[in-house]
């Protein structure tokens, strides 16, 4: 059973009262442990697709199953719980909370789980260690470099051991050296079994994915699986 199963997904939003179609009949299946890169020009629907996979937005039409369970039938509270326990997010502009320290930002990844979290402190420390930020625990985001901020965001995404990490242009705001480091962490994460979906403009990053999904005008134009 695929981890992610999208069937005939449509998504429309209103722009100044006029309906705009962001996705038109997208069907996609992602197996657990896959590394999928979504590429395409601006406005092709990549981020909308990622948001729907992450349950941040609901499709206007179509069926979305996460690990066999219909997301469309879930309440807002259940979708929030799904995000808290099984999905991790990494954004282009990091989205760290300014007034929280690195440690606190990372701990936020466990904050909204409904079940009690064992060894919370150790898990946060371990996540920090994995991204090489153990020495920056008490720093505020503004005291970190761009690369460090994104590593902090990755630590927050993985602290809860999610089944899937969704990354929306994770290296878009970084220089090449930091971008390589961040991509290395994500790839290493995937190699340990975490499903990874990234939206990217960079061909070099797409090349490292197991599958590349190319989008145009809200549709999947091409889905290419790389040979191992």
Partner 1 sequence: MKNARHDFGLLFRSVARRWGVYALMMAGTGLALTLTLIVGLFIHSELSFDRFIRGSDRVYLVSALYGLENKPLVGSDITPAGVARWMRADMAEARQVTRLSPVEWPLSTPRRIARERFFWADPNLFEVLDLPAVAGDLKTALRARDSIVMTQRMARAYFGDQNPLGRSLTTRDNRRLRVTAILRDFPANTHLDRELFVSGGYPYSVLSLHDANPTYLWSICYTYVKLRSDVGPEAVARQLTRLTHQNWQGPNNIPVSYELIALKDLHLHERGDLQMKARGHVDTLLALALVAVVILLIACANYAGLVLAETDERGAEMGLLSALGAGRAHLLATVLRESLIVHLLSLLLALALTERLLPHLNHSLNLDLRLWSAPPGLMGLMLLLTVALALLSALLPAIIVTAPSPVRRARMRTRPPQRWQGWVIAQFTLVISLLIAAQVVSRQWDYALDSAPGFDGQHVAIVDLSDNPWINRAFLNEIRQLKGVDSVAQAFGAPTSNFVRPALVRGKDGRLLSFTRTSVSPEFLGVYGIPLRAGRNLDHTFSEVVAPKDILINETAVRALGFASPREALGHVLGYETDRTHMQSRIIGVVPDIRFSTVHYATPPMMIDGFDRFFTHFSIRVKPSNEAETLRQIDQIWLRHTGGTEPIERQGFRDYLRSQYHDLHQQVAVSRLVAGVAILLSALGLMGLCVFLTRHQSRELAIRKALGAHFGDLLLYRIRPFLLPLLIANIAAWPLAGLVLQQWLETFAAHMTLTPLPFVQASLVTSASALGAILLHAMWSNRRVRIAFLRQDV
Binding characters for partner 1, 169-208, by CB under 8 A (x = yes): ----------------------------------------
Q: Name the one residue in this structure whose structure tokens are 């970084």.
A: 174
Which is nearer to partner 1, 97 or 222 (by Cβ)?
A: 97
| Cα 18 to Cα 27: distance, rounded to the nearest angstrom | 25
Selected binder of partner 1 within 21, 24, 33, 57 (CB under 8 A): 57
Residue 17 binding partner 1, by CB under 8 A: no
Are the C-beta atoms of 102 and 129 separated by less than 8 Å? Answer: no
With contacts defined by CB under 8 A, name the span among 28-36, 38-46, 105-113, 182-190 that binds partner 1. Answer: 105-113
SS3 94: coil
Torsional sign, CA 59, 61, 65, 69: positive
Contacts of 24 (CB under 8 A, 6+ apart): 10, 217, 218, 219
Binding to partner 1 in span 70-99, by CB under 8 A: 76-77, 80-85, 89, 91-98
Say how many residues make up the chain. 228
Q: Name the one residue in this structure whose structure tokens are 């990217």.
A: 200
Selected binder of partner 1 within 40, 109, 147, 170 (CB under 8 A): 109
Q: Name the one residue in this structure whose structure tokens are 């499903």.
A: 195
Question: Can you list the positions of beta strands (E) in 110-218?
Answer: 164-168, 195-199, 211-216
Binding characters for partner 1, 25-54, by CB under 8 A (x = yes): ----------------------x---x--x
Binding to partner 1 in span 122-141, by CB under 8 A: none
Which is nearer to partner 1, 72 or 173 (by Cβ)?
A: 173
Task: Summarize as ranges the residues that interact with partner 1 (CB under 8 A).
Answer: 47, 51, 54, 56-57, 76-77, 80-85, 89, 91-98, 108-109, 111-113, 156, 168
């Amino acid at each position: 059973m695929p981890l992610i199963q999208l069937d005939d997904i449509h998504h429309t939003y209103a722009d100044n009262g006029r309906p705009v179609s962001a996705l038109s009949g997208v069907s996609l299946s992602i197996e657990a442990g896959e590394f999928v890169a979504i590429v395409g020009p601006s406005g092709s629907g990549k981020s909308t697709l990622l948001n729907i996979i992450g349950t941040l937005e609901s499709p206007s039409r179509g069926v979305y199953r996460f690990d066999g369970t219909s997301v469309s039938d879930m309440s807002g509270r259940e979708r929030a719980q799904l995000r808290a326990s099984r999905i991790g997010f990494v954004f282009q502009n990091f989205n760290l909370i300014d007034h929280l320290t690195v440690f606190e930002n990372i701990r936020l990844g466990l904050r909204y789980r409904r079940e009690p979290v064992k060894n919370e402190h150790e898990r946060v420390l371990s996540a920090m260690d994995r991204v090489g930020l153990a020495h920056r625990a008490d720093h505020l985001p503004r005291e970190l470099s761009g690369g460090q901020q994104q590593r902090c965001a990755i630590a927050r995404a993985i602290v809860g051991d999610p089944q899937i990490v969704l990354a929306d242009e994770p290296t878009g705001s970084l220089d090449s050296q930091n971008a390589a480091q961040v991509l290395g962490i994500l790839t290493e994460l995937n190699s340990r079994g975490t499903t990874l979906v990234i939206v990217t403009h960079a061909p070099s990053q797409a090349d490292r994915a197991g599958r590349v999904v190319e989008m145009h005008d809200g549709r999947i134009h091409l889905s290419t699986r790389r040979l191992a």
